[in-house]
Structure 1
Amino acid sequence: MFGDFQGMMGKLKEAQQKIEETKKRLDTVYVEGTSNQGNIKVTITANRTIKSISIDDSLLQDKEELEDYLIIALNDALKKANSINDSEMAAAAKDGMPNIPGLDMFK
């Protein structure tokens, strides 16, 4: 029995290591979000860290319009990053999970 338990614990540690490696790798995956007209571009990592924001000069005259477009671009980038992050983390967790009866949520 203890051999099985130790094997499961080893698998769990491997899963945790894969998840940590995936998190580090996702820091190097860049996603770009844009506003509807492309006058704002936001670059973030798949771990949802903002790396850059580019704003067209034409928006600098209208604060409210700038804010609206910025929200659109940020939400676009976050949606893409969330999708990548969720699928990559689920794959990492699934690969490393031991086969525990009743805990097949990642299968």
Structure 2
Amino acid sequence: MFGDLTGMMGKLKETQKKIEDTKKRLDSVLIDESSSDGLLKITITANRQIKSIDIDPALLEDNEQLEDYLVLTLNKAIGRATQVNETELASVAKEGMPNIPGMDMFK
């Protein structure tokens, strides 16, 4: 009985390490998003850290329009980054789940 428990604990620790490694790797996964007309471009990591914002000079003339562009484009970029992040982490977590009787619902 304790052998199984020790094995499960080892597998959980291994999975935790893989999750941490995946989180670090996601810092280097870049996602590019732009407004529909290309006047605003944003690069964000899969961990949702903004890396760059490129604003066309035409947008600098109208603060309200620039704010609208920023909100819409940032939200799209964050949504895509979140999807990549959650998919990657879920994959690692699912792969490392030990076989615990009655816990099949998580697989």
Indicate the SS of the match to 1:38: coil
Aligned to 2:46: 46
Indicate the SS of the match to 1:70: helix
CA deviation after TM superposition for structure 1 residue 29, in Å: 0.2
Deviating 4+ runs (over 4 angstroms)? none
CA distance change for structure 1 residues 57 and 105 in 2, over 3 Å: closer, same or farther?
Answer: farther
Q: Percent identity?
A: 63
The CA distance in 1 between the partners of 2:53 and 2:45, in whole Å, is 13
Q: 1:41-81: CA deviations, max 9, x gaps?
A: 11000010111111000010100000000111101111111
Aligned to 1:12: 12
Indicate the SS of the match to 1:13: helix
CA deviation after TM superposition for structure 1 residue 102, in Å: 2.4
Structure 1's unaligned 5+ residue stretches are: none
Structure 2's unaligned 5+ residue stretches are: none
CA distance change for structure 1 residues 44 and 102 in 2, over 3 Å: closer, same or farther?
Answer: same
CA deviation after TM superposition for structure 1 residue 101, in Å: 1.8
Residue correspondences, number: 107
Q: Structure 2-normalised TM-score?
A: 0.95
